Homo-oligomer: A and B are copies of this chain.
Amino acid sequence: MKQLKGACVIGQSGGPTSVINASALGAIEAALDNDVITRVYGAAHGIKGVLDDQLYIMDEEDRAELAHLRHTPSSILGSCRYKLKDFEEDETDYKRILEIFRKYDVRYFFYNGGNDSMDTCNKISKYMLKNGYECRVMGIPKTIDNDLAGTDHCPGYGSAAKYIATSCMELYLDARVYNTGMITILEIMGRHAGWLTAAAALAGEYAPDLIYLPEVAFDMDKFIQDVKTIYEKNGKVIVAVSEGIHDKDGKLVAEYGGTAQSRDSFGHAQLGGLAATLAAIVKEKTAAKVRGIEFSLLQRCASHVASLTDIEESYSAGRAAVENAVKGVTDKMVGFKCTRDKSYNCEIELLPLETVANTEKKVPLEWINETKDGLLQPYIDYALPLIAGETGQEKENGLPRFAKLKKVLR
C-alpha cells in the first residue's frame, strides 16, 4: 500500500450527542500521532467549514486540554445540517471542496455523523475518485437515534439510552409520592426509529406501563382504553411515546393538536409538543391529573450520565477511522460487530459507505410485544451492555470540566 502523505480534515455533522467529541478526540489523537498526516484540521460546522474555508488547526491545541473532549458533550467543532446535491445535478459545492482540499493538500477526510452525514461522505468520496484526486474518505458513525444500517449500534445511543432509562426510574418513584391519581406522559426523541423510546424499557420494574414506538401504528382509542384500565387498577400510569408516533394513515399524533410544524433543510418535520397534545387528550378522556414531560435536548447532551462503554467505543471508532485510512482504506464507515453470547464483545468492522448512507435501521418488530406497547427480552439483552459503566467525568466545584479549545483558524 502506497503511503499517502497529506493533511486531514475532521468534521462533525448532524445533531450532537454526549460522546461525539470522544470520537473527534480518537480521530484527532490518532492523526496527531501519525507521521503520514502532515496537518490536522477541524472543520468549523462540518462540511460548511470546508466550503467557507473555516478550518481550525488542531495541531495548535494543548494535548491535555484536548483530552477533556472525552467528557465534553455537543459538537466542539460545530455542526451543520447541510445537504449536498448530487454532483451530476450541481457540481458547485464539490468544486469548492476540491479547491480547498487542493489548497491545503487535504488527503484524508473524516466525517462524524448520522445517515445524512454518511450520504455527504459517500458523495464526496465518489466525486474525488471521479476527478482523480486521491483522498481517503471515512465515515465515523454518530447518532443517538441508533438508526444507521450495518452496524450493531451507533456511538451516542448508549449514553442517551442511559439518560432515558435513569430518568424513567427516577420519575417512576416521583410519580408514586402522593396517594392521588396521576398520569405521566414522557416524550422521547426519534422520528422514524424507536430505539430511544425503547430505552425506557431498560428501567425494568421502574419502566413506564406503556411504551409506543414509531415502528407500529398508534391507535388512539386502544391507547385511551389501556390508560383507563391501568389507571383504574393502579391509580398511576406512566406512558413513554416516541415523538414520531403516527396513526395507521401515517398522520403524526403530534399533529393531532394542530401544533405548528416546520421543516428543516433535509425536509424532516420539526417535531415537539406531543407530550402536551397527548396530555390534553388523556385529561379530557379520563379527568385525571395528567402531566406531560419532554426530555427535549437534555437526552442528547447529558454527558454527566454518559455510558463509559459508549465513550470508549466512540473514541475507538474515531481512532479506527484514521488508522485504517492511513493504511489505505477509503470509502468506508467504521461500524461495530458485537456478540453477546456469554459476555459482551464489540469489534470494529468497516462497512461500504453506500450501503450505510440514507438507510434507516428500525427496531425489529419481533422485539416489540404482541400488544405493541412494550419491548421484549431480546431488546433488553441487546441494549443493556451499551449503557454499562460510569463516565468518570472530571468535576470542578461539583460541576463538569469541559474542554476549552483555542480553535486557531488556518
Which residues of A are in contact with B by a Cβ distance under 8 Å? 15-16, 44-45, 48, 72-75, 78-81, 162, 165-167, 169-171, 173-179, 202-204, 206, 272-273, 276, 291, 293-294, 296-298, 300-305, 307, 309, 384, 387-390, 395, 397-400, 402
Contact partner of A74 (CB less than 8 A), chosen from B167, B176, B297, B388, is B176
- CB-CB under 8 A from A166, the residues of chain B are 304, 399-400
**Inter-subunit contact A78/B179 (CB<8 Å):** yes
**Inter-subunit contact A45/B298 (CB<8 Å):** no
- CB-CB under 8 A from A202, the residues of chain B are 399
Within the complex, the shortest CB–CB distance from A43 to chain B, in Å, comes to 12
Within the complex, the shortest CB–CB distance from A45 to chain B, in Å, comes to 5
**Inter-subunit contact B400/A169 (CB<8 Å):** yes
**Inter-subunit contact A169/B297 (CB<8 Å):** no
Contact partner of A293 (CB less than 8 A), chosen from B165, B298, B309, is B298
C-alpha spacing A397/B73, complex, angstroms: 23
C-alpha spacing A222/B48, complex, angstroms: 36
**Inter-subunit contact A300/B174 (CB<8 Å):** yes
C-alpha spacing A173/B398, complex, angstroms: 18
**Inter-subunit contact B301/A174 (CB<8 Å):** yes
Within the complex, the shortest CB–CB distance from A126 to chain B, in Å, comes to 26
**Inter-subunit contact B384/A388 (CB<8 Å):** no
Contact partner of A178 (CB less than 8 A), chosen from B80, B170, B204, B307, is B80
Within the complex, the shortest CB–CB distance from A347 to chain B, in Å, comes to 21
**Inter-subunit contact B73/A170 (CB<8 Å):** yes
**Inter-subunit contact A397/B388 (CB<8 Å):** yes
**Inter-subunit contact B177/A398 (CB<8 Å):** no
- Give the 8 A-B residue pairs with the shortest CB-CB distance, closest first: A74-B173, A387-B398, A174-B301, A170-B301, A388-B398, A79-B177, A293-B296, A74-B174
Within the complex, the shortest CB–CB distance from A143 to chain B, in Å, comes to 14
**Inter-subunit contact A399/B169 (CB<8 Å):** yes
**Inter-subunit contact A398/B307 (CB<8 Å):** yes
Which residue of the partner chain B has the closest CB to A204?
B399
C-alpha spacing A397/B383, complex, angstroms: 10
Within the complex, the shortest CB–CB distance from A190 to chain B, in Å, comes to 17
Within the complex, the shortest CB–CB distance from A282 to chain B, in Å, comes to 14
Which residue of the partner chain B has the closest CB to A184?
B297
Contact partner of A162 (CB less than 8 A), chosen from B165, B204, B398, is B398
- CB-CB under 8 A from A309, the residues of chain B are 398
Supplied contacts A45-B178, A293-B298, A307-B398, 6 more A-B pairs, CB within 8 Å: A75-B177, A162-B399, A166-B399, A167-B298, A170-B303, A204-B399
**Inter-subunit contact A304/B178 (CB<8 Å):** no
Within the complex, the shortest CB–CB distance from A303 to chain B, in Å, comes to 6
Within the complex, the shortest CB–CB distance from A269 to chain B, in Å, comes to 15
Which residue of the partner chain B has the closest CB to A310?
B398
